[in-house]
Amino acid sequence: MRLFVALEIPTAVRESLATLINSLRAVSSQLRWVRPENLHVTLKFIGKWPPEKLDGLRNAFAAIRLDAPVALDFRGLGFFPNEKRPRVFWAGIQASPNLITLATEIDRATEELGIPREQRPFSPHLTLARFEPPSLPEKLRAAIQENAGRGFGSLHTNQFHLIESKLKPSGAEYTTLQTFPFAAVEA
């Protein structure tokens, strides 16, 4: 099994980003665009995991608790590592400080099961496309700059998801295996 942990994004955010992706794809089809139904906020990439050890993961995630739900505002666009040599095109996320706490707790829980900790600092984002090779066509750069400050919506959530990714010739197919509540719902 190939697994990761993520936050699902609301339908309104997904639709707003789908509109952006479709307009930018019309400008440049040479990027590998993420299908809108696959957009999510990755908290931890686990990778290959034996099915017989799935209960250990589930138990570790079920024990994660925070004092409050996380809040995210999807806003802005950018690149990893940078605009001069882009590999990933992303939508930005402004999040409540406890999002980093949640990612850290998930990282700690998986480390106890033998999965190495993340070496890079957690940087919340939504991957919209990948560049291969890393170059930014001028028409696409201009279209992205026109949308650079755009907001795409927000999310308040008290749950995260364990997701299986099956790689297929048509692209990755995701299946949510289990949802884990980590905080009480605010009244």
CATH number of the domain where residue 23 is located: 3.90.1140.10
Please compute the mean of the pLDDT values over residues 111-134 and round it to a whole number: 91
Nearest to 59 by CA among 113, 5, 4, 98: 113
Residue 46 pLDDT greater than 60, yes or no: yes
pLDDT for residue 11 = 96
Q: Please, what is the angle between helix 138-146 and helix 11-27, to 10°?
A: 150
Domain-embedded: residue 187: no
**91 contacts 126 by C-beta, under 8 angstroms:** yes
Strand (E) or helix (H) holding 47 = strand 40-48
Domain-embedded: residue 73: yes
pLDDT for residue 168 = 87
- What does the alpha-carbon distance between residue 124 and residue 17 come to, in Å, rounded to a whole number? 16
- What does the alpha-carbon distance between residue 187 and residue 183 come to, in Å, rounded to a whole number? 12
187, two tokens: 């009244």
Name the active-site residue from 5, 9, 40, 155.
40
Give 85's pLDDT tier (boundaries 50, 70, 90): confident
Give 162's pLDDT tier (boundaries 50, 70, 90): very high
pLDDT for residue 47 = 95
Name the active-site residue from 125, 140, 160, 162.
125
Task: Quote the pTM value.
Answer: 0.91
Domain-embedded: residue 186: no
Q: Is the dihedral of CA 66, 64, 17, 31 positive or negative?
A: positive
Task: Tell me if residue 73 falls in helix, strand or coil.
Answer: strand
Q: What is the pLDDT of residues 96-117, one digit of tens each?
A: 999 999 999 999 999 999 999 9
Mean pLDDT over all residues of the chain? 93
Task: Tell me if residue 49 falls in helix, strand or coil.
Answer: coil
**77 contacts 92 by C-beta, under 8 angstroms:** yes
The range of the structural domain enclosing residue 81 comes to 2-181
Domain-embedded: residue 89: yes
pLDDT for residue 186 = 66
Domain-embedded: residue 123: yes
Domain-embedded: residue 74: yes
Residue 187 pLDDT greater than 60, yes or no: no
Give the chain's domain count.
1
Q: What is the pLDDT of residues 166-179, one digit of tens each?
A: 998 878 899 999 99
Percentage of residues in the chain having pLDDT higher than 70: 99
Give 135's pLDDT tier (boundaries 50, 70, 90): confident
Nearest to 7 by CA among 186, 180, 183: 180
Catalytic site includes residue 40: yes
Strand (E) or helix (H) holding 13 = helix 11-27
Give 152's pLDDT tier (boundaries 50, 70, 90): very high
pLDDT for residue 179 = 98
Percentage of residues in the chain having pLDDT higher than 90: 80
Nearest to 92 by CA among 149, 136, 45: 149
